[in-house]
Amino acid sequence: MKLSEHFTLEEMLHSDTAEKKKIENRINAAEVDNLVRLCQKVLEPLRDHFHQPIHINSGFRCQALNKAVGGAANSYHTKGRAVDIPMRPGWLAYIRDHLPHTELINEGTWIHVAL
């Protein structure tokens, strides 16, 4: 299922940890709507500005998966409101200065952004 022009629900749900631990990463309609908004308001504009594809390191996480990866109990990932993407030159500053966000965290090799 396409969430926006360049992002799919499948990539937002994919998790090596979920596969390894046999966790079914289930999502509801409200969480899908949140992912659509995140893709349309943050990821697509970022991709368009830099003319580069964006790999999703971590998208939606059900509670069991979030716990398995050591995520915060109240993580925006569990609501479909956050993604982790690779750190690339200029991306963090562009998001900070030009795109809506609720959280923006420099995690070293990746960026956590929530809306």
- The reported pLDDT for the residue numbered 99 is 98
b/e per residue 43-52 (b: at least 16 CB within 10 A) = bbbbbeeeee
Domains and CATH numbers, the chain: 9-114 (3.30.1380.10)
**Residue 86: pLDDT band by 50, 70, 90 thresholds?**
very high
Instruction: Kindly indicate the confidence band of residue 13, based on its pLDDT and cuts at 50, 70 and 90.
Output: very high
List of residues 6+ apart from 76 with CB closer than 8 A: 82, 102, 103, 114
Q: What is the mean pLDDT of residues 38-55?
A: 98
